[in-house]
Amino acid sequence: MIETILELRGLTTSFRTRQGRVRAIDGISFSVPRGGAVGIVGESGSGKSVTALSILRLLPEPAGRIDAGEILFEGRNLVPLPERDMQAVRGSAIGMIFQEPMTSLNPVFRIGDQIAESITLHQGGHQGGHQSGGRAAAHARAIELLRLVGIADPEQRVADFPHQLSGGMRQRVMIAIAIACNPRLLIADEPTTALDVTIQAQVLELLLDLRCRLGIAMLLITHDLGVIAEQVDDVVVMYAGRVVEQADVATLFRAPGHPYTAALLQAMPRMERRTRRLDQIPGAVPSPAAFPAGCRFHPRCPEARAICTTHQPPDFSLAPGHVAACWKHSGYVAR
Amino acid sequence: MTQPLLELDRVSKSFPGQTRGTVVHAVESVSLAVASSETLALVGESGCGKSTTGRLALRLIEATAGHVRFDGADLTTLSPAAMRQQRRAMQIVFQDPYASLNPRLRVADIIAEPLQVHGLYRARGERADRIAELLGMVGLNAEHAARFPHQFSGGQRQRIGIARAIAVGPKLVVADEPVSALDVSVQSQVINLLQDLQEELGIAYLFIAHDLAVVRHIAHRVAVMYLGAIVETAGTESLFGAPHHPYTQALLSAAPIPKPGARQGRIVLGGDVPSPSRRPTGCHFHPRCPIAQAVCRTDPPPLRRVADGHSAACHFAAPFPLG
């Protein structure tokens, strides 16, 4: 039995909008094994980033709130946790990396101080011992972390301000902050989307290397199926606020169970081979204020039937570890 | 190739730098040609000069040196009046469908603006007919004409941008990252649309992109840029099948492949792209190049022919991937 580090059970998050309360995610369930790598893939509006923000309890309250469900981190439900306890979880037990490294770093502080801040904030009291020795230790640790994430001349760089660094280097600094307190889980939301492809390759290589060396579990959120294929063991496919399919990465690409996953793979231009014409998915991703009834993919689905327009499909279990929420699998056992 | 539709002949563009006395060499001696009904893709990372090259081709910015020829005329010496005439044949589609449409204009007025500028309709009815026809060509309905941009999704907005570009019947469209901002499921719709329009109307595209999979799909020929210069150019199959320049090889190798287990090892380039205001001497790529020799630090390699229709600017160009 593989130990689970994170488990979501029926997580539902809504936002207050002009159209009333709108559910951005609706009954999300999946789990991340300890030391494993799980990817969430989805298009804009699928709810993948809201899922990450909900886990970290970083929703813009009171507009955004968790309505239902549980977030079990190492067996403990994070949803009812007071903000004080949540602060201890964020950064120390769960590290996070966001898409835009320029806006995630404070422009008026030296990067060394920003790394040290996260160390003293989370470990100052109990791990470093004395407060005075804590500062110097945190500074030394900042240099060590910069070296770990592959920044040359860390002794000099530690005194740089964010604007003195390139986009790739800033993302390395963000990773250094994220792993500063030895988290057991890293949540990375589109960590390479803002980067050029040769720099993306460097950062992905670094993430893979750190995970292997430090044994950190990772929840990687991306729209890029190429990044998914190369970085994770298991994949959660989201569409319009719901999980439509879950599978190990090889199965997902070889035998996708949900028509949306299949269509997404077909619609992608490939670098390995040239196709005459791309398959296209008709229509557009629906907005959370106007999610269709029944299966939310049905208006765009080539295989939609009458039941799809009225009833939400349950998760059908196609094989161990492979579930798809699609009525065409109604011969299988529903989870 | 017979007479190309668009020809850039050693075109350069430099801007004054942020600090006094420095010069940013955004584009340096770029030569390229696009034939009618052809798609040439300009590929490279941010800051490589691909968008600047696209704007130079349309004379939206003035070149510091070199010539741009379009349909036989030298654009660089054309009078403003003659240039305005010429613009009917050359249009542009932008990356961001949210920022490139005026939010206060109705779709009909957005599409009709270029028609009006070039005096392409006489009566009100003629205008409405043409707008309806253009909306149909890009997969929208005549009813959409009365709406505002915010009432559309990203993919539909990009269709409006395309309708505006083809309204005046251009021979060339510069498409600057036209699908980069779109979701995968919508991206393929727009790529197919661009291809259909090329087939129907014989439009040539100068297609600026960083996504190599999209380029492989849509382009007939590809030019790879690095720090303002073309480092390799070839037919699409030749470029992807046998990249000769170490930068092209690294670029192709860096792109994640959406097929688990397909990765055979990757060339990961060290360092970052240097600033165009402080370009390395010799071959601009040498500080990051895995096969650089002493000569690369001093002598800039010329773009030379390595195969039929395939050129690379490398002293050690070879048709096999490194690593």
DSSP track, A241-296: TEEEEEEEHHHHHHS--SHHHHHHHHHS--SSS--SS-----S-PPPGGGPPSSST
What is the least distance, in Å, from the CA of A265 to any CA of chain B? 8
3-state helix, strand, coil in chain B (%, to 5): 35, 20, 40
The packing angle between helices A197-214 and B246-254, to 10°, is 50
Amino acid at position B27, single letter = V
pLDDT band at residue A21 under the 50/70/90 scheme: very high
Residue ranges of domains in chain B, CATH in brackets:
6-102+171-312 (3.40.50.300)
Q: So what's the ipTM on this one? A: 0.85
Q: Average pLDDT for residues A306-321, to the nearest whole number?
A: 96
Q: Do A278 and B252 touch (CB under 8 A)?
A: no
Share of chain A above pLDDT 90, in %: 66
Question: What residues in B contact A204, CB-CB < 8 Å?
Answer: 256
Residues in chain A closer than 8 A to B255 (CB atoms): 197, 226, 271
**In the predicted structure, residue A326 carries a pLDDT above the cut 60:** yes
Q: Please answer yes or no on whether A197 and B188 come within 8 Å at the CB atom.
A: no
pLDDT at residue B161 in the model: 96
* Residues of B in Cβ contact (< 8 Å) with A285: 153, 183, 185-186
Q: Determine which helix (DSSP H) or strand (DSSP E) holds B88, and give its type and residue range.
A: none
Across all residues in chain B, what is the average pLDDT?
A: 92
Which pLDDT band holds residue B98 (cuts at 50, 70, 90)? confident
Quote the pLDDT of residue A129.
44
Q: Which of A280, A285, A287 to mutate to test the interface with B (most CBs of B within 10 A)?
A: A280
Residue spans per domain, chain A: 104-182
Under the banding of pLDDT at 50, 70 and 90, the label for residue B125 is confident
Match 């009566």 to its residue by tokens. Answer: B123
Identify whether the C-beta of residue B12 lies closer than 8 Å to the C-beta of residue B30.
Answer: yes
B194-207 average pLDDT score: 97
CA distance linking residue A249 with residue A329, whole number of Å: 20
Q: Which residue of A has its CA nearest to B47?
A: A196
Q: How far is Cα B304 from Cα B313, in angstroms, rounded to an integer?
A: 6
> In chain A, what residues touch B240 (CB-CB under 8 Å)?
271
Strands ordered across the beta sheet of B6-16? B23-34, B6-16, B65-70, B73-74
Per-residue pLDDT of B241-253, as tens digits, reads 999 999 999 999 9
pTM assigned to the model: 0.89
Give φ, ψ of A49 to 5 degrees. -75, -35
Q: Does the pLDDT value for residue A124 go beyond 60? A: no
- For B258-284, the pLDDT digits (tens) are 888 887 778 888 888 888 888 899 999
pLDDT at A44: 85
- Whether B206 shows a pLDDT value over 50: the answer reads yes
Decide if B261 and A250 are in contact by the 8 Å CB cutoff. yes
User: Angle, nearest 10°, between helix axes A259-267 and B184-201?
Assistant: 40
Best of A18, A151, A198, A276 to disrupt the B interface (most B CBs within 10 Å) is: A198
Give SS3 for B306: strand
B258·A268 Cβ contact <8 A: yes
- Alpha carbon dihedral B275, B278, B282, B283, in 10-degree steps, equals 0
- Chain B hits for A166, Cβ within 8 Å: 272
Preceding amide of A62 cis, omega within 30 = yes
